[in-house]
């Protein structure tokens, strides 16, 4: 990926993260030698940008997914969605524990 495309991808990701207070992304970076996944919001943008530039230079692939879209109720993107009971056997109906 040339520098201009990397800059555009970084800017597009940053715009998305800044657009709404709770926008979050899942990033997957792969190269011939390694793979990395991360979950971030705007506070982690510097790391996303560094990884984007690193993996683009390695000739790898970069995927940035909107967690905001994936995490919608009844999302078609889930392969598995599970919540595990706490020590009392309670499972929350909504939200994180």
Signed CA dihedral, 10, 15, 21, 26: sign only: negative
Domain count, the chain: 1
CB 52 within 8 A of CB 6: yes
Boundaries of domain holding 62: 3-70
Do the domain assignments include residue 76? no
Q: State CA 43 to chain mean position distance.
A: 13
Structure tokens at 97: 């524990």
Do the domain assignments include residue 46? yes
Do the domain assignments include residue 51? yes
pLDDT classification of 96: cutoffs 50, 70, 90: low
- Which of 47-56, 62-71, 85-94 has the lowest average pLDDT? 85-94
pLDDT classification of 87: cutoffs 50, 70, 90: confident
Q: What is the DSSP string of 11-66?
A: HHHHHHHHHSTT--EEEEEE-SS-EEEEEE-GGGHHHHHHHHHHHHHTT-EEEEEE
Q: What is the pLDDT of residues 9-64, one digit of tens each?
A: 999 999 999 998 889 999 999 998 899 999 999 999 999 999 999 998 777 899 99
């Amino acid at each position: 990926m040339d520098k201009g495309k990397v800059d555009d991808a970084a800017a597009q990701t940053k715009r998305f993260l800044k657009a709404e207070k709770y926008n979050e992304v899942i990033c997957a970076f792969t190269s011939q030698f390694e793979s990395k996944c991360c979950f971030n919001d705007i506070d982690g943008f510097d790391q996303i940008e560094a990884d984007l530039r690193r993996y683009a230079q390695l000739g790898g692939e970069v995927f940035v997914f909107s967690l905001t879209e994936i995490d919608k109720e009844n999302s078609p993107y889930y392969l598995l969605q599970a919540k595990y009971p706490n020590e009392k056997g309670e499972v929350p109906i909504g939200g994180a524990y």
